[in-house]
Structure 1
Amino acid sequence: MPPRSPPPYARNGPPVVLVHGAFESVDTWSRLAPLLARDHRVYALDLTGDGYSERQGPYTVDHFTRQLLGFLDAMHLGGPGGRPLLVGHSSGAAVVTEAALRAPGRLGGVMLLDGDALDTGAGPPPAFKYVLIDPYRTSLLRLGLGIDAVIRGVYDAQCGPACPRLDAAGLDQWRRPLRVPGAESALWSMLAAGVPGLPADRVARLAGVRLPKSVVFGAQDDVFTRQTPQETARRIGAPPATLIPGARHLTMISSPEAVATAVDRLTAASVAASR
């Protein structure tokens, strides 16, 4: 199955392409996309291994970046169709960073949202290797997916108190992608490999690319250190990072208005830079 994309929400305005992070999907943007659509053409895609995409690796930054650039080709973006802003969430920050390094002339700007784009080598703890052995891993996953409290617990920890409580439809939104054909094996492959990212010196090359850049984090994001947002902004040559009060790691769900405002600022910078 090819990566899916919702149709653009607006016929006019600068294009924005939303790139999700690990274990997320197009649905992750459901609160933010309608706000952006007031002034932008909004696109998103399911990267292979997540959402309802084909479960076929490798699940690497290189593979995801080639998929993203192919998506721009398919949607006729980066040429007469307009130079899009790329917004990459969490590990998606590495994908949009690499895309900007490979094809800066096709883009209007880049936002790193709740992500530093770095390859930290983070993977499961050593003891987790025993859980990755069948039949334990299959039993654990299927048991967890069947318990609403487990899904809500992970969601609440990542999203925080500002996020809407998951109702039945919300639970299904997070549960169903992990039940599509091939999802289990892809999940274990991705967990074993760790979160995809780039070496620090590769990320730092973005500072030399003449594109408007933005870094936005939840102020209470405990996936990273408190220093990470400003360190990331300095590394890529962006203005000081925007911190969203009270938000954790899923700012596009907890604080869509604040993220939309940050995208609007990046759009204004992109328009100014193109003159």
Structure 2
Amino acid sequence: MDWDRDGKDWPNREFSRFVRHRPHYWHLQVAGNGPVVLLIHGTGGATHSWRDVLPILAERYRVVALDLPGQGFTRLGARQRCGLDAMSRDISALLDGEALLPDAIVGHSAGAAIALRMVRDLKRPPKALVGLNAALESFKGPAGFVFPMMARMMALNPFSASEISRWLGTAAGVEYMIAGIGSELSPEGLALYRRLVADRHHTDATLAMVAQWSLDGLQHDLPSIDVPTLLIVGEDDRAVPVSGSVRAAARLPRAELARFPGLGHLAHEEAPEAVTARIEAFLDDRL
């Protein structure tokens, strides 16, 4: 993704900054004052996913959103560091270096797994965690087919990122994927996802993340993560079943579950005001 070309009208552009912290060149958005709340998007996403959430939270908190390595506008500096453990360590080091250690972390999908892993890697643990349709088990439905397929294609064909970008970077391709995970987005939201997946560098980094992803260690550690955790689920999510969050909540020592009927995997993009209000109510008691 090219900032001058693709970032001209990027959501919340006025809060964007770029930071070189080994091994990557990071795109961050920082807004507001107060306790630090970190937002981590899911696989194949970017800061645009928080376009309506960030301004609301920034009225009360210092909100930090970032693009994962190689995705969105963060430039990938080391391809082998796209797995869960490596990303957790690299993000933790980045935030420490920028004096932005989070008091709370909100993660969507795979971002929720990163948030839980960061409890181990941060210099001090956060006071609260929120997982939105947390991907703490294997993907199901269309996502369960597409993501492993993407990883296999990457292993077999080094040019697969370009092929997948051509396949998904159409209006029909993006609409198929978004509908397949149970969400309905505005034309603006769909256009932003088209912009992302049409970029082969973004798609290549997403493929690398999928190929290196393993939840085995995190699953083992869930009972030892003694941080208040809210797991929010959209009951129409077709990528991450509600049952996965129910099982995770039972294993996490201090977890609670909130259900949103009628919303899918991108619940915070479909109903940002309602979802953010639930996040704020949870954080108010802990920050």
Q: Normalized against structure 2, the TM-score is what?
A: 0.77
Displacement of 1:180 after TM fit? 5.0
Q: Which residue of 2 aligns with 1:90?
A: 109
The reply on whether 1:260 has 2:276 as its aligned counterpart is yes
Q: Which residues of 2 match residues 33-48 of structure 1 at below 5 A?
A: 33-48=54-69
Displacement of 1:130 after TM fit? 5.8
Kindly provide the amino acid, as one letter, of the partner of residue 28 in structure 2: S
Displacement of 1:96 after TM fit? 0.8
Q: Which residue of 1 aligns with 2:235?
A: 219
Could you list the runs of 5+ residues in structure 2 that have no partner in the other structure?
1-23
Displacement of 1:128 after TM fit? 7.8
Find 2:253's aligned residue among 209, 222, 237.
237
The reply on whether 1:53 has 2:67 as its aligned counterpart is no
Q: Any conservation in 1 of the 2:43–2:109 contact (CA below 8 Å)? A: yes
CA distance in 2, matches of 1:179, 1:200: 33
Q: Normalized against structure 1, the TM-score is what?
A: 0.80
Q: Any conservation in 1 of the 2:25–2:74 contact (CA below 8 Å)? A: yes
Q: Any conservation in 1 of the 2:128–2:229 contact (CA below 8 Å)? A: yes
| 1:171–1:261 Cα change, 3 Å | closer
Could you list the runs of 5+ residues in structure 1 that have no partner in the other structure?
none
Q: Any conservation in 2 of the 1:25–1:51 contact (CA below 8 Å)? A: yes
Q: Any conservation in 1 of the 2:71–2:203 contact (CA below 8 Å)? A: no
Kindly provide the amino acid, as one letter, of the partner of residue 69 in structure 2: T
Task: Please say which of residues 188-197 and 36-45 is displaced more in the overlay.
Answer: 188-197
Q: Which residues of 2 match residues 67-78 of structure 1 at below 5 A?
A: 67-78=90-101
Task: Please say which of residues 259-268 and 244-253 is displaced more in the overlay.
Answer: 259-268
CA distance in 2, matches of 1:125, 1:180: 20
| 1:194–1:98 Cα change, 3 Å | closer
Q: Which residue of 1 aligns with 2:194?
A: 175
Report which of the two has the higher share of strand.
2
What root-mean-square deviation, in Å, do the aligned CA atoms of Structure 1 and Structure 2 show? 3.0
| 1:137–1:214 Cα change, 3 Å | same
| 1:41–1:3 Cα change, 3 Å | same
Name the count of aligned residue pairs: 258
Greater Cα radius of gyration, structure 1 or 2: 1
